[in-house]
Amino acid sequence: MAVTEPAPPAQPVAHEGILRRQSLRESAARTYARSLPIVPVRARGLTIEGADGRRYLDCLSGAGTLALGHNHPVVLEAIKKVLASGAPLHVLDLATPVKDAFTTELFATLPRPLADDARIQFCGPAGTDAVEAALKLVRTATGRSGLLAFTGAYHGMTAGALDASGGAADVRVTRLPYPQNYRCPFGAGGERGAELAARWTENLLDDPKGGVPAPAGMILEPVQGEGGVIPAPDGWLRRMREITASRSIPLIADEVQTGVGRTGAFWAVEHSGIVPDVMVLSKAIGGSLPLAVIVYRADLDVWQPGAHAGTFRGNQLAMAAGAATLSFVRENRLAERAATLGARMLGQLQGLAAAHRCIGDVRGRGLMIGVELVNPDSDDTQADVPPADPVLAAAVQRECLRRGLIVELGGRHCAVVRLLPPLTLTDEQAQAVLDRFADSLEAAVSAPHLRHDTGPSQ
């Protein structure tokens, strides 16, 4: 489906009826359906076609799951091959040729020092399950219970993962400052802000009155996604690796959203050159299907048989789709492509920011991009930067949808417009995405009443 290809006639599908029944039947916890009232019926690559016949450019990509976009031929072929073979689809944790092929391909992509001495644990089907397994692993291996995590973090929706996330209400972990340039917690930004964040961490751990006993592990995201698309400085990541290694604290890298080429390297930790003790992997590794694993140093492998299990950890279709995806990204150098195209898109967005005071910051890495929208006319003269403007961000998201562009919002105040296009994005498609975003921003800014148009209630 090319960007310029016209949409076919609308199909006789009860679009409004489906949306109405979803609203009546599904949990109030549903999220994406509220801001994206569409009914997808077909999809290919970047493009989704709705039941009403409209086409959309999907820059959400299943929250980063679809590294190759929708229904990529190599993924479909891998799934069809397993189905046609008569192989069992449910095998618990038994060994199979499909699983062996997936594991072999995954290990071929890992940072070499880890892959040479690694173990893999297949978890439940979601990234949060893998986070839980990682936390359980380091606590078992070290005999400690404490955990180091960071402000702005997001690690999943299960209990332990939520405890380690930035929005935790009942804090049972030690929260450390995550460096960022635009809203630096120390008011410094840049290398100085990152240095202060690292020094805070080091001093807290070494202070005998700091109230932090030796923790079981430190968990961090190389790029905070839900926290607002904030890349960790490479130097700061190296400091975190030095601090944890010198104190025998296992370092857990949450690569659920950043992995498989998304940031311009196959794994985001490779930008800094660090090798974590544990990597948490999900989303794109399943090639669009549910799959989650942790990979970790062999000396941490102290599980007793059955100490961590899950009925659906042997998803054969996901492993086949995942192996095909990993191989395609690696062989076609899509990480390098993401780095090049992402830098170009960031440059154009920064040019747009120069003409719009409401764009406070443009940031990201590879094809993981965020645009923070702010209120430049705020009366707060004491603030270093203008306050976030979530109302404007929501209006921009609605205007994007009206123009056939799907984007997500994130950040501390839900004021960061996030772009997560597939790694197969073409130059033409990238320009179409940026053009539609620019038009949507202009519409939202020039027509203030649109900020109060909440659209269809779902």
Higher pLDDT, 110 or 161: 110
Higher pLDDT, 213 or 231: 231
**What pLDDT is recorded for position 437?**
98
Under DSSP, the state recorded for 29 is T
How much is the pTM? 0.92
Higher pLDDT, 375 or 162: 375
User: Does the structure show a pLDDT above 70 at 433?
Assistant: yes
Distances (CA, A) of 209 to 191, 205, 206, 310: 28, 9, 9, 41
Task: Among 160-164, 198-202, 207-211, 372-376, name the one with the lowest average pLDDT.
Answer: 160-164
- For 282-410, strand residue ranges (E) read 293-297, 359-365, 368-373, 405-406, 408-410
Q: End-to-end CA distance of the chain, in Å?
A: 28
**What pLDDT is recorded for position 10?**
47
Q: Return d(Cα 41, Cα 47) in angstroms, integer.
A: 11
Q: What is the mean pLDDT of residues 162-168?
A: 72
Q: Compute CA 331 distance to the chain's CA centroid, rounded to the nearest angstrom.
A: 23
Q: What is the mean pLDDT of residues 426-439?
A: 98
User: Does the structure show a pLDDT above 90 at 209?
Assistant: no
Residue 451: pLDDT band by 50, 70, 90 thresholds?
low
Residue 106: pLDDT band by 50, 70, 90 thresholds?
very high
User: Does the structure show a pLDDT above 70 at 169?
Assistant: no
Higher pLDDT, 33 or 297: 297
Q: What is the mean pLDDT of residues 428-447?
A: 96
Question: By C-alpha distance, which of 279, 261, 301, 249 is closest to 113?
Answer: 279
